[in-house]
Structure 1
Amino acid sequence: MKKIIGLFLLGTFFVSAQESSPFDHKKNEFRVDVLSAIAYGKLSFSYERFLGKDFSVGVNTNFSNSQKIEDDFNDGFRNNLPKYEINPYVRYALSKSKSRYYFAEIFASTNGGDFKEIIRDTDSNGNGFYTIKKSKYTDFGLGGSLGYKMYFKESWALEFLVGFGSNLTKREQSPNVISRVGINLGYRF
């Protein structure tokens, strides 16, 4: 009887040891988007918290400081200049592996920046003229993304992400499309 109980406990230990992975104890991850920094002059940071086997939640923050986009805004090639974006998200892992997997995400967005428009006005003599009016905008949007993440040495992450969404409230001032495109480097702890 003691041998049977001992074998049962030993078998349970080996089964639970095989199911456990180094990722089970590392629930947090911090990432930096390299593609946005190089291509768009945008600082983009993400924090992700792993809730269980397949789900995680996180937040991404972007701050734009692109001279090219600002020049396009000032020269009249675009009417909005995005400055910041905050994206909370929920992710679901589509693959079974914890070290390399595809995922789908749903995200919300709070974004804002500068907006300008050309307004026709009249002077005291009734003569018409045009002027440029600059203002700030803040908008809210929803979207979805797909991506692929892989880990090296159980802590270092490389992530590819492509996603799009739409602003919902001030579409005449804010960009109609929100994009989440990036190549992220991260560390899981």
Structure 2
Amino acid sequence: MKHFLVGCLLLSGIAFAQDTESKNEGPVASKKNEVRIDALSLIAFGKANISYERFTSGKWSYGLTGSFTVGDKFEEDFDEGYRSTLPKFEIIPYVRYKMSDSDAHYYFIEGFISANGGDFRQILRAEDGTNGYYMISKEDYFSVAPGASVGYKVYFGHAVALEFLVGAGLNIMDTDKSPDVISRIGLNLGYRF
């Protein structure tokens, strides 16, 4: 009978140890904050994207991305008439849901709202009585675009993140001046702490 009781105690101790071990967070999940920069947008589009993400104890996380134009290519194309809008800033609050149980690598879905603004350029025809002429008009725009994204994230060494993200949103304000679609594409490098 003693051997039976000792065996039951050992088994319950092992089961309890495994149960508490599964509730403990791993080395990645124990870190709740992450900062990222978007290397793809910076190189390809001349836009600087900086993100902060906060992780909850479940599968959800939320964050904020700030984006602004740093290259002259956008401005040159805008001034020469190759594009009608010049995006200057974008602020994107988002919420994400992790699609798997792994913390080291996973797919996710994201809902976001982009507050974006910049300059709008158009050519207008004007008349001064007898003569007609064309003039260039520049105005500011501000819009809000709800949207969705999907992505994949992998961690190296429990702290360095590599993330690929693709998504889009539709501007719903100032639609005659703002771009119709806001794209959310990025190859992000980050650090989780």
Normalised-by-shorter TM-score class: over 0.9
**8 Å contact kept, 2:29–2:103:** no
Q: Which residue of 2 aligns with 1:113?
A: 118
Q: Which residue of 2 aligns with 1:49?
A: 54
Matched, 1:59 2:64: yes
Q: Which residue of 1 aligns with 2:20?
A: 16
Runs of 4 or more consecutive aligned structure 1 residues displaced over 6 Å after TM superposition: none
Q: Which residue of 2 aligns with 1:68?
A: 73
What root-mean-square deviation, in Å, do the aligned CA atoms of Structure 1 and Structure 2 show?
A: 1.7
- What is the aligned residue count? 188
Q: Which residue of 2 aligns with 1:174?
A: 178
Quick check: 154-163 or 18-27, which moved more?
18-27
- In structure 2, stretches of 5+ residues that fail to align are none
For 2:66 and 2:13, how far apart are their aligned partners in 1?
A: 48
SS for the counterpart of 2:178 is coil
The alignment-based identity, stated in percent, is: 47
Describe the superposition over 1:53-84 as per-residue Cα deviations: whole angstroms up to 9, x where unpaired: 21100011111123222111111111110011
For 1:66 and 1:82, how far apart are their aligned partners in 2?
A: 11
For 1:97 and 1:71, how far apart are their aligned partners in 2?
A: 45
- After TM superposition, the score normalised by the length of structure 2 is 0.90
- In structure 1, stretches of 5+ residues that fail to align are none
Quick check: 94-103 or 17-26, which moved more?
17-26
SS for the counterpart of 2:17 is helix
For 2:111 and 2:140, how far apart are their aligned partners in 1?
A: 27
For 2:29 and 2:162, how far apart are their aligned partners in 1?
A: 19
Matched, 1:80 2:88: no
Q: Which residue of 2 aligns with 1:155?
A: 159
CA radius of gyration, larger in: 2
**Distance apart, 1:172 and its partner CA:** 1.3
Q: Which residue of 1 aligns with 2:44?
A: 39
